Amino acid sequence: MAQALKKKKPRREDVDNVENLCDYCTAKCCHYFALPIDTPEEWREFDYLRWYLLHARASLFTDDGDWYLMVHTTCKHLRDDHLCGIYETRPQICRDYSTDKCEYEDDWTYEKYFESPEQIHEYAEAVLPVRRGETFRSRKPPMLPVLQ
């Protein structure tokens, strides 16, 4: 069994400076990528976000007020032991990545997190002005069959 899997996961503050947090992690950072997107401000922009969420393995989140599109996918060079299979030739973005603010802890949360087009639509309804010709009221439900 891999060395990383044998060790019990210590708290971040208990890991000695000479050790690497990655030795205890399951490589959360290698199971998705997130791209910054413009902050939506109008219905059309929220409709684009709805479109993103119609695709499998996509979600949206905010961090420090900035919006991100997250694609849940695993790096094809991640080994079974949760280490990088191309560590010596990994891309620069991986080289620049630091464990200083990584998701090592399991209590990570986002300011806002959206997984479905319905969630982003409901959020848009809550933060945007009502569209012309619409109201805050729910649509009138259809008549019950016994009353028709």
Q: Quick one: pLDDT at residue 69?
A: 98
Q: Quick one: pLDDT at residue 136?
A: 56
Q: How many CB atoms lie within 10 A of CB 59?
A: 20
* DSSP per residue, the chain: --HHHHS----GGGS-TTS-GGGGS--GGGS-EEEEEPPP-SHHHHHHHHHHHTSTTEEEEEETTEEEEEE----TTB-TTSSBTTGGG--HHHHH--STTSS-STT---SEEE-SHHHHHHHHHHHSPPPTT--SSPPPPPPPGGG-
Q: Quick one: pLDDT at residue 1?
A: 44
Q: Quick one: pLDDT at residue 146?
A: 75
Instruction: Note the pTM of the prediction, 2 decimals.
Output: 0.76
Q: Quick one: pLDDT at residue 4?
A: 47
Ranges of residues in the chain with a pLDDT under 50 are 1, 4-5
Give the Cα separation of 17 and 96 in Å (integer).
Answer: 18
Q: Quick one: pLDDT at residue 67?
A: 98
Q: Quick one: pLDDT at residue 24?
A: 86
Q: Quick one: pLDDT at residue 10?
A: 85
